[in-house]
Every structure is written in C-alpha cells, then in structure tokens.
Structure 1
C-alpha cells in the first residue's frame, strides 16, 4: 500500500524489481477518488523505449477513458538503474517479463485498484503476452502492433539472424573481458543520423522512414525530443530478444485477448501468426489505413487503438 499523495494526471512513482527501484509514471483519471476502485492497466513499451515515449502517449489516453495506467522504465533503462556491476541501456527480454510481474504486484498494493489489465505495444505486446501466461492477476490483455510471433519476422533470413547472433556473442565476450559497456545501434540508427542517411542504409527499408520519423534525431520522440532516450543499446541484447516466448506459449494464455495491428505493416505477421495459435477467447482488429509505427503516436491511430482497448477492458 502506498503512502504517497496521488493526484489526477501523471504521478511519479517507484516500485521494487530485482531489489532496485524502477521509475514509473502512474496516470490517474479525471475525478479520481482514492475511496473508489478503478480498473488499472500495466503498460509495456516497444524496444528500446522509455516511459516518456509510448507510456506518455497511452497513459493520458487511457486515463481520459477512466483507467489507471502505469508506464515505467524497465531495469537499466531511462530513470531506472541497472543492477550493480551492469550497464545502462540493457533491456533484456526475460527481465522485461519479471519487471512486468513486479509492476502488477505494485498495482495490486493500491487499495483503489479493482482489476489489472495489460496493454503492450510492439515488443511490449510480446512482453505482456509472455507475462500473462503465468500471471493470472492480469485479467485481460490488449496487444498493439505486437511482436508476439516474431519467428517469421526475425528468423526467415537465417543467415542474417546468425550474423546478429555472432555480433551479440562478441559483444558479450568483449564486455566480460574489458568490464566496459559495448553500445551499438540495434536498428542501425544512432542519435546523430539524418533521415536520408538512415533510410539509405537501413536493413528494413519498408519500415525505415516511419522508424526514423519516430526514433530519429529529428523524430517526434527521438533523442532530441526525449532527452532521457538514446537509440544506443547494450550489444548483447539480441541473445534474448531472438527468443519468441509469446509465440511459443500462445496456446497457454487463458485471459481474453485483443490483438490490434495494421494490415500494411511488415510486422503484421507477428500478430496474425500469434492469433492463429491462441485457444482462448480472443478478438482481432485490423486496420488497413495504419502501419506499425502509426500506433505509436499518430492521433487517429492512437485513438483507434485506445478506444478499442477501453471498450474491450470495460466489458
């Protein structure tokens, strides 16, 4: 139970995970009354985001629809510390799941929380789906532009996947031997590149422009707009992110599930292949007019996804 005085809108909070304090923002709806109970959402953001990106967009939107929303910086990201002896920008897949479980535990200590739901975007979709497999405190999940079934996206070009693994292995070895962090640009996008430089060299040309428009130096939520954010990341991260836990355990998920995606997105297969493996009560909402990154910030796409999630959670 928290002793903190909470007010309508954004509240800075912390909660324990792996023995350290993770930094979060708790969004409360208009007219919030601590003597009443509310439906709460744990939000999960795309790789390699911080709470000032997707959570800062979806938090106010879901609060405006009457929900409590928790967005937070995962271990080693943003305002959350790395573990002693480890390095910042080290967002590891399996730890994301445990951080999410601890976020659910935190929400469960709040006396005004009635039920807890999960809302994940991009990699956050995989995180929420994976966390929900064995955390039935999460009563429903909504997944937007989710990377739940990533095998077809990440492993179809086996040679490229193996090149990524080789580089990741080398990064881990280098850090062990030097004791220093080895930072890389996972998308090939660093904090200084222009849009033209990135698009011309991008490994995924179909998504390059929209990726830069959000994450790039001049992007709406890039390192200039969000000082707490960097595109650079610890180089051994793919050793975990290439495992697709949500896909492997889709048939074990019991919570009602809503999957939202854009049919034109190159990542649509990550949603459709996941839905095909679900055996629970589930719904699929596809938009022809939106791409993958549109759901991150474009008003019409965010409204479509948050309206749908709110209606789904309120049933």
Structure 2
C-alpha cells in the first residue's frame, strides 16, 4: 500500500498551468568538434561552459575539470544524467565539482528542450522525453570521446538519471562503467502498483498531447502538484504525505535549495504529455543486458529503494551495492554528508 500511493506525490521525486521561464541561449562555448579547434586549449580547471551537437542542435553543458588540469594528460571522464525535471545547475552542479575534485572530468548538460538547450524547431521547451534523453546521452559520450585528454568514459545517473544511464549503457559499450545514486531504474513497482492512478496520469497525458497537436501551443502542468509560486506551508498543507512533500519542497520549491528562485533556468512546470514516456521503465526491462560493471547507491530506508533493489535483482553483470541507512532519496541530491558518501563511493568504483 505504501508503494502504491507514492505515485502521485512522488512521480514528486522525478515526474495545473503556468508558462515556464524564457531561458537565455547565450553561452561562451567550446565547439563540438574541439580536436580541430585551438579554442579547446582555453579549457581550465573548474567549470567550463561548452556545447555539443545532438539532434542537429547545440546542447548546453558544463565541463568540470580537475585542479591542475593539463590537456596533454589523460583523464577518466564521467557523463552525468540528472533527475527529472532538472537542469544542469541542480544535481549535476553538485556532483560535477565533487567528481572533478576527485580527479575526474565531468560533463553535466541540459537535455534537448531543457534549461539552456533549445527545443527542436516546432517543438516546445520543458519536453524531457525518455528516448531522446538516451540519445542525448550517446551524443554526450561521443563529445567526451572526441576530447584528446579523455581516456575512458563512465556514466553517473541520479534519480531518473539512473534509468537514463542504465538504458544508454545497454548498447553503448563506449561507457565502460556506470553508477547510479537514488536511481529510478526499476520504477514499475513504484508507479504501476495502483493501476488506476497510473491510468489517470496516462489519460491526462494523452489529452495534453492531443491538445498540443490541435492548438500548436505548449500545455504546461505541475507534474508533482508543485508550482513555482507556492510557499512550503501551502504545498505541504495540500499534500497527502507531508513528510515527502516537505522533502521535495526543500529542494524544488519556490524557496527551496535549488528551486526556481535559486536556479534561473529551472521551473517546476513541464510539458503535459510527459507521463506517456516517464511511466516506461526502460532500465528495468534491460537490466540483464548490461555488461558494464555497475555501482548502485541508494538510501536503504527511502521509499524509492525498491527502484534500486528490483533493478539489482535483475543484474547479471559484475555489480556492487551501497545501501546507506538514514538518508532519504533527495538527501543524495545536496545534503553534504550524503553527497560525500555517494561521491566517495563512485570515485573509488570508477578508479578501480
């Protein structure tokens, strides 16, 4: 019962109307074919704004480089995959510096239609679709592989990013190892136990898709019931599960750690047909096909733990598990103690 009722409040940990912010597209860039460009050698330790090509457009990214970076040396690189519906200034901006501090190159980027990355012509912003996320990830791997100082590429996914990385790795063996943190790789049990609730989400998503096709205009909704204007008291007061709502608000809410006031390019509003793809658990379906060594880190007592444990049960590769007590799902997004545990574990695993 506990699992079934979490779908509506927690499709708040990763999945009505308000127009999202108009995101700026002006960025200093490193070209997506940097081997031929001397501009690549202006890269420096710390955060570098870059772009790379996917679906024929330039996606915006941040490339984090270790202290004392030397372009003539070789480094292990990580492509990061973020939670739904995040942009690169959120979890990836927490994990990027941490992994660079541990000696890795780290790429965080905005998926097609998100943050500083454009939507395709004729399409709408805030349209983060699962199958495109996988292809964007493959192109991010290609970008990292084009950098002469990158020796190997690994994948790190947090929350929905865990499913993205796991799914991308099935047929992209250029990714040599993967790690997931609070990963939503096996979300079927989490999302479909209450099939009536799931089908209500589908009905709303189907209606939104039809509306957008007919009008040609975006239909923005609040997937978690959380918009950009609510106070903590207002949101929790309307929530069926106040504790979970409080945890979500403290990160995503108007006054949250990485909410719309703290992160200019972020909004809680999202395209209305999102559930048509987010309800498909690709990572779980293909877990037994993953050949790369895999690390799974999750909060042992978090309500989303089943999304990691059910995935682990289906793995047939070499894998390691770190189930951490006393940390929730969202703690691993930004709480210093939880982030230290996860980044230390990931660094040790990738360094082997």
- Tell me the distance in 2 between the aligned counterparts of 1:35 and 1:213: 42
Tell whether the 8 Å contact from 1:192 to 1:217 is kept in structure 2 after alignment: yes
2:84 is matched with which residue? 47
- Tell me the distance in 2 between the aligned counterparts of 1:152 and 1:203: 20
1:247 is matched with which residue? 284
Q: Partner of 1:132: helix, strand, or coil? A: helix
2:219 is matched with which residue? 182
Q: Partner of 2:326: helix, strand, or coil? A: coil
Query: Does 2:312 correspond to 1:271?
Result: no
- Tell me the distance in 1 between the aligned counterparts of 2:53 and 2:176: 22
1:108-257 matches, cutoff 5 A: 108-202=145-239, 205-257=242-294
- Tell me the distance in 2 between the aligned counterparts of 1:59 and 1:196: 32
Q: In structure 2, list runs of 5 or more residues that go unmatched.
A: 1-32
- Tell me the distance in 1 between the aligned counterparts of 2:259 and 2:54: 27
- 1:195 is displaced (CA, Å) by 1.1
Tell whether the 8 Å contact from 1:45 to 1:54 is kept in structure 2 after alignment: yes
Query: Does 2:304 correspond to 1:280?
Result: no
Query: Which of 62, 68, 71 is residue 99 of structure 2 equivalent to?
Result: 62
Q: How many residues align?
A: 315
Q: Deviations over 1:141-177 (max 9, x none)?
A: 0000000000011101100000000000000000011
- Tell me the distance in 2 between the aligned counterparts of 1:203 and 1:185: 16
Q: Partner of 2:306: helix, strand, or coil? A: helix
2:46 is matched with which residue? 9
1:261 is matched with which residue? 298
- 1:314 is displaced (CA, Å) by 0.2
So what's the TM-score if we normalise by structure 2? 0.88
Q: Partner of 2:50: helix, strand, or coil? A: strand
- 1:201 is displaced (CA, Å) by 2.3
Query: Does 2:126 correspond to 1:89?
Result: yes
2:142 is matched with which residue? 105
RMSD over equivalenced CA pairs, Å? 0.8
Q: Deviations over 1:233-258 (max 9, x none)?
A: 00001100110000000000000000
Tell whether the 8 Å contact from 1:8 to 1:30 is kept in structure 2 after alignment: yes
So what's the TM-score if we normalise by structure 1? 0.99
Q: In structure 1, list runs of 5 or more residues that go unmatched.
A: none
Q: Deviations over 1:103-152 (max 9, x none)?
A: 00000000000000000000000000000000000000000000000001
- Tell me the distance in 2 between the aligned counterparts of 1:256 and 1:212: 34
Higher RCO structure, 1 or 2 (CA under 8 Å, sep 6+): 2
